Structure 1
Amino acid sequence: MKFTFASLLLLFFGLTAFAPKPKLTTVKLASSLSVGVPVGFAPLPDDGIAVKYPSPRKPLAVFSNPSGRVDFSVAVRPTTFESFDYGVLIKIYKSSIQRLYTKVDFIKEDIRTVNGRDLIYFEFVSTVADSKRTGSQLAPIKRYQTVQYAIEGTQLYVFTFVAPADEQAQWQPTAQAVMGAIVMKK
């Protein structure tokens, strides 16, 4: 029996269509914002957020898996931009992401519509290398990340899913499901 590429491709898509979808729990973060959080993830308390995300502006919420190695966070910041600026902002945010890390390998970047709302979307693997030390160097830290940006009024919402890069295959479907479960009411 001889298989063609098309029949193998059809078989692959047929089998993956029945793959289990990641299970999410809907969490309401504000009257106009709800997100899908992976089952088993727990909210970090304020002191945990302060340790893991030291910043004058703490995230609105952070949810972590039981090991604490994978996070989903939601941050809100003031902005003077509007949603019709997304075409320009995608370039600015991409540049900002590239400045944060030693190396960034983008998997996907676009403006997408999620539950009736346009969002800027990035999916990438980031690397931070210890290049300033002399002698023994620490191993680079690589992370798989998805980030979405949305503007509502004068607020910028930043949704971030972060996992170790070596666990990308395991967490990628969950990250994509989480980013597709964001509901922002106008």
Structure 2
Amino acid sequence: MKVKILPFLLVLLALMAFAPKPKLTATKLAPNLTVGVPATFVAMPDAGIAVKYPAPRKPLAVYTNPAGRVDFSVGTRPTTFESMDYGVLIKIYKSSIQRLYSKVEFLKEDIRTVNKRDFIFFEFVSTVTDSKRSGQLAPIKKYQMVQYAIDKQQVYIFTFDAPAEEQAQWQATAQAVMDGIVLK
């Protein structure tokens, strides 16, 4: 049985290697930060950000697909940590992610280098369930890819999220976006 699966997996892997790369537009967000935004995404206006991302500290930028179901956001927060603390921070950030959602299925977690910069990286599917006794709302499941990087007492948070049922459609794009971050 395993012998029959191996050739199939090799063919599938070869086909994926030649799949077209998502088209990204280089976008400068700060003097030291350039990101690759999917060509079909548009910048979300401030009013849309205030509704979809209500928080005291507005994200640096949010880009969304034409349907408004898939977002790429960039935020910053002050920090006293340094990049040499990534080994400890990966545990802290993982715990924070787990507290945000009813259930989290981590697909990948790592400290990785992108464009000569180290990032804390998570890929996961999150679920939020209605915790009220009378609540009959269906769970909300999202596919997410998140990277954190520290630069000059700031932590940069890069988040790509899509509906979980669209994971296969958006996974390569999310990876390309995360690989396109240039933080000098």
Fold shared by both chains (TM-score > 0.5): yes
Query: Conserved in 2, the CA contact under 8 Å of 1:131 and 1:137?
Result: no
Matched with 2:151 is 152
User: How far apart in 2 are the matches of 1:133 and 1:180?
Assistant: 42
Letter in 2 for 1:166: E
- 1:74 and 2:74 are equivalent in the alignment: yes
Deviations along 1:129-151, whole A, 9 cap, x unmatched?
002132x5100000000000000
Offset at 1:92?
Answer: 0.3
Letter in 2 for 1:89: L
| SS of match in other structure, 1:55 | coil
Deviations along 1:7-53, whole A, 9 cap, x unmatched?
33332222221111111111000111000001110001111111110
| SS of match in other structure, 1:56 | coil
- What is the alpha-carbon root mean square deviation over aligned residues? 1.2
User: How far apart in 1 are the matches of 2:121 and 2:151?
Assistant: 16
User: How far apart in 2 are the matches of 1:7 and 1:164?
Assistant: 32
Offset at 1:6?
Answer: 4.2
Offset at 1:82?
Answer: 0.4
Matched with 2:162 is 163
User: How far apart in 2 are the matches of 1:90 and 1:44?
Assistant: 29
User: How far apart in 1 are the matches of 2:52 and 2:13?
Assistant: 39
Matched with 1:110 is 110
TM-score (norm 2): 0.95
Matched with 1:57 is 57
Matched with 1:37 is 37
User: How far apart in 1 are the matches of 2:36 and 2:92?
Assistant: 27
Structure 1: gaps (5+ residues): none
Letter in 1 for 2:12: F
Q: How does 1:76-155 map to 2 (within 5 A)?
A: 76-134=76-134, 136-155=135-154
User: How far apart in 2 are the matches of 1:99 and 1:67?
Assistant: 29
| SS of match in other structure, 1:35 | strand
Query: Conserved in 2, the CA contact under 8 Å of 1:114 and 1:180?
Result: yes
User: How far apart in 2 are the matches of 1:133 and 1:25?
Assistant: 46
User: How far apart in 1 are the matches of 2:13 and 2:174?
Assistant: 20
Query: Conserved in 2, the CA contact under 8 Å of 1:163 and 1:171?
Result: yes
TM-score (norm 1): 0.94
Letter in 2 for 1:162: D
Matched with 1:181 is 180
User: How far apart in 2 are the matches of 1:137 and 1:6?
Assistant: 44
